[in-house]
Structure 1
Amino acid sequence: MDISPDLAIITLKGAIGLVFLWVFIKSRRRSALFLGAGWVLSGNLPLGGTVVGGRDLDPLIMGLSTSITIFGIMELITEERGRGPPRSLLLSLPPVPLVYGAIETALGMNFGGTYIVSGFLLIAGGGTFIEFLKDYYRSRAVLFGATLILAGIASMAYPFIYLRGDLNYSLVVYGSVFLAALTIFAYYRLVSSENFLYFGRMENAEDVDVGPGPRIVSPHQFEEIAKKLNGFPVLAFLRGTKPGEGWIVYRISTVGRENVIEPSALYRITQTVEDYLREAERTGVHGIVVLEGLELMKMYNGFESLLKFLSTLGDMVRLSGASLLVITEREVWSKSEWRLLHRMLE
């Protein structure tokens, strides 16, 4: 037996388990525990050879691993969407691979049914993940969902090609090494998003009283307020202001980089604020949003569109009992514009 690929796949799957554990500690998300447990359990697959009392336990392990993974996918969607699948689906769908694995193990036969069922559910889970979270995580959700779909296809194909002897052992193991490496990359991309870590930051936050609702503050006024917000998970869209410690920061700029929002993409700000406020409400924390760069947004969108955008944000924070601090100065606006801004945000 070629030991190198065996060690590689076990090491990679162990590394994925450590990544999930780190994410759980960082964010306190139950989904990370379920997904991590699923991958760690599959660490010996498709190496094979797990025999206890003369019975091949690989189908049972595969079924259990897939069941936990599917439950983790459902839990992650629930965490982000604020609502989960029907209870009947939650109780009936994830156990299916485990049931198939238990039957094959009890019969003492590894005829591939567990791999086919597991693959089908992984494909369905990947597609569902993309459908529900592509607007939230964009390309990161597509990458992770596509990885699940690819793993599902490989699982469904496994009984037809390897168990029949159409592929040799080394090709299967190297393919599994590739899938494991792709999975750890896709999941790291997902959890490195600021959106993913809202949960942990909110859970550990102590409320700061800055007054509910939207209001306009000058740069000088904000300097004093910002001192009280160090360590609080403020959601800040900044142009040039220095962020405080622990803030969730997006820069408003025309230069496309990570965590940068173009001034013309007002919808992205609205979506991000909505996600943040939903998480704040769910964890019982007073959400605080900071917005800077209105002049640049006006230049790219027009004043009327800017007012509609601010009206939407104002309604969102009022309904959730959160705070919106808009940083700007009187001097950069005409009298009529300033009057309308005050009417909209005070």
Structure 2
Amino acid sequence: MNYLDLFLGIALLVSYVLLFYNYHLTGRKALLYYSLAWLSLAVPMFSLDKAVYAVGLASFSTFLWAGNVMAIEELSMEDETRRDLLYLSILPILFVILLYPGHETSTFLLLGLWICASSVVLGSFGGRDFLPMAFLQGILGVVVAASAFVPFLRFHLIPAVIAVFMAFESVRTFLRTSFIGDFSIGSIKDVGLDERPGLLLVPSVPENVLSSALVFSRVPRDCPNWFWITTVHDERAISPTNLPKILDMAVKFMREAGEAGKKPIIVIDGLDYLVLENGFSSVLKFLSALRDYALVHGATVFIVGSDDFLSERERKLLRSIVGEGNA
């Protein structure tokens, strides 16, 4: 093992630690799978055994596939049926068990093609945030597949360098779309709200409710629990297309407010803007997930706006998960 192998191995281990720590903070399963993927690829960097490399690459391919599937579900609000794709993640392990070492060429070819397939799935269904990750995964898959016919590509340098770029791109993507905590539970006051838990569509919200809620609004305000929905880069700004981050923050707020013995109240302003930026289907899935969490945590979520801009069919779908309130 030379210094370059050591450096690349440590870089992959650092990626594992960052992703696993973020998983510990947010509970996102995609982060767990990605962290295990980088750990699987880091281990072979400290060994010159080809069998260790093959097993590590297969484990990496397995966890990468699982991470991509969960990322699509968690961050892009895709249908839960995509979880069925998780069962396919065992295939790379089977490639090694059934083919290696007797059919080494076929093993690396299939592993490379599997990584390419993972990149296609992520790029097709994961949205814009994941395109750089999908692109780098595709490059790695091509290199691994080519290594089946070009032996010097099988070990270390080129695949490992690409993997390090992949690792830090995944860290960057998830840290950007994950919320760790930046609100004040202590500022929440009891406003005597008697609205039932769940989602309520209202034309406006009183000021006393706003001051005691976690608020996502198109209007900026300098308050500890107020976040600005905008495409402008700001410390307390959230992109209107980053519905996963809004959901992540809302769920964390519900949990912490409940633990503090306070009623969680959340206000989301600008239904029309969110639909314009994300499409009705994505917003409906987001609101459905938010409603389920609200019911579990006894939270009331006010969706401020009107549904007049929707078609009759879309209004019926929205009303099936969102009630009307009197805030």
TM-score by length of 2: 0.68
Contact 1:126 1:146 in 2 (8 A): yes
Q: Does 1:40 align with 2:39?
A: yes
Task: Please give the residue correspondences for 1:178-193 in structure 2 after superposition, counting only pairs within 5 Å.
Answer: 178-193=162-177
Map of 2:80 onto structure 1: 83
Aligned counterpart, 1:214: 201
Pair 1:20–1:244, CA change in 2 (3 A): same
Partner of 2:309: 308
Of 216, 226, 229, which aligns to 2:210?
Answer: 226
> Alignment partner of 2:220: what SS?
coil
Does residue 288 (structure 1) correspond to residue 301 (structure 2)? The answer is yes
| Identity percentage of aligned residues | 11
Q: Distance in 2 between matches of 1:45 and 1:323?
A: 57
Aligned to 1:228, the other structure's residue is in SS state coil
1:156 to 134, 141, 145: 145
Residue pair 1:78, 1:84 contacting (<8 A) in 2 also: no
By how many angstroms is 1:168 displaced? 10
User: Relative to structure 1, is the Cα distance of residues 279 and 192 closer, same or farther in structure 2, using a 3 angstrom cutoff?
Assistant: farther
State the distance in 2 between where 1:129 and 1:324 align: 39
Q: CA deviation at 1:248?
A: 5.6
Deviation at 1:99, TM superposition (A): 1.4
In 1: Cα distance, 2:13 partner to 2:238 partner: 30
Whether 1:259 and 2:238 are equivalent positions in the alignment is yes
Equivalent residue pairs, number = 277
Show the counterpart of 2:320: 319
**5+ residue gaps, structure 1:** 295-305, 326-345
Deviation at 1:240, TM superposition (A): 3.1
Match of 1:22 in 2: 21
Is this contact kept in 1: 2:229–2:239, CA < 8 A?
yes
Give how far 1:28 is off: 0.8
RMSD: 4.0
CA distance in structure 1 between the partners assigned to 2:142 and 2:80 by the alignment? 28
Quick one: which amino acid aligns to residue 123 of structure 1? C
Which of 206, 213, 219 pairs up with 1:239? 219
TM-superposed deviation, 1:143: 1.4
State the Cα distance separating 1:43 from its structure 2 match: 0.8
1:338 paired residue number: none
Tell me the alpha carbon deviations over residues 73-100 of structure 1, each in whole angstroms, 9 at most, x when there is no partner: 223333332413374x543x22221112
- From 102, 105, 117, the equivalent of 1:112 is 105
- In the other structure, the counterpart of 1:301 is none
Query: Structure 1 residues 308, 316: CA separation in 2 closer, same or farther (over 3 Å shift)?
Result: same
Asked which structure has the greater CA Rg, the reply is: 1
1:219-248: CA deviation from partner (whole Å, max 9, x where unpaired): xx22x1023325xxx5x1322334542x66
Q: Which of the residues 44, 47, 53 maps onto 1:58?
A: 53
Paired residue for 2:284, among 267, 274, 291?
274
- TM-score, with structure 1 as normaliser: 0.64
Unaligned runs of 5+ in 2: 242-269
